[in-house]
Amino acid sequence: MRIALAQLELSASVEENLNAVKVTIARAAQDNADLVVFPEATMKAFNSGRLDVVAESSSDRFVAEVSQAAHDAGISVVVGMFRPADEVERDGKTMHRVFNSLLLAWRDEDGPGVEFYDKLHLFDAFGFRESDTVAPGNAHVVCDVPLADGLSVALGLATCFDIRFPEQFIQLANLGAEVIALPASWNDGPGKVRQWQTLVSARALDSTCVIAAVDAARPGGAKAAGKDEGPTGAGHSMLVNADGGVIASAGYDPQLLVADVDIAEVERIRRSIPVLEIRD
């Protein structure tokens, strides 16, 4: 299986981000990738305006254009976006919350296949309260997606802060996942890149799944690195094997990283390190 990690620098403009997604889908397909994974919030960067307004006005078109691009290119796509959710009262104000969603789209016989995952664990940490503007999801998602050789792979979905909850990744593996796509807009700051890298490898070991972890590129690149800022992205996307070994990794800047994974290795690793079986 060939996986592309699309580490984009995200903007406030849905149009700019959508165009970048479509261009990158075409590039990944030219590189013969089976799957391309984009960051969390690819539709609109965090800290760049109201999410409810953009979810209401742009989510349907975003889904339609990305899924059609995936279908036309014959590639599976995972991309972060926002969809309308609910209304809640916060400090005397009515908040129109959104779902922090992942769109999974793939080529199907009757047109684009589409599935959504809504982030389960919201980022109420480091002084930030995602739950004020985002509603939590309520379901794990694993889907079979096609590969170029006519086979398929079981793909699980998780988002950013979910990475701090190993039980979610174990549950995805128990539901059949062999690969887990993990889009993020990971906060930069002291020690945050180290935490990200450690957690990605740890979740691969917990679940014995391949982890395709794609963070947004660091605005300002390496020169701005280490400042306590976010959630805007800190780069360092990683493709990690089911035994925790790093197959490929990026730095701070925008990059399309393409690498091959031997899915048969997942079963071999699970026989060698049967943590899922022993846990049961």
- The residues annotated as belonging to the active site are 40, 119, 160
Report the chain's C-alpha Rg in angstroms: 17
Q: Distance (Å, rounded) from C-alpha 198 to C-alpha 178?
A: 20
Contacts of 216 by beta carbon, 8 Å cutoff, 6+ apart: 7, 8, 9, 10, 39, 40, 41, 42, 45, 184, 185, 186, 232, 233, 234, 235
Q: Which residues fall within 8 angstroms of residue 258, CB to CB, at 6 or more apart?
A: 2, 3, 4, 5, 28, 31, 33
User: Is 97 within 8 Å of 133 (Cβ atoms)?
Assistant: yes
CB-based contact 105:86 (threshold 8 Å)? no
How big is the CA angle at 276 (ends 274 and 279), to the nearest 5 degrees? Answer: 105
Quick one: 139 exposed, middle or buried, by C-beta within 10 A (0-12, 13-18, 19+)? exposed
Quick one: which of 274, 167, 186, 171 has its CA closest to 235? 186
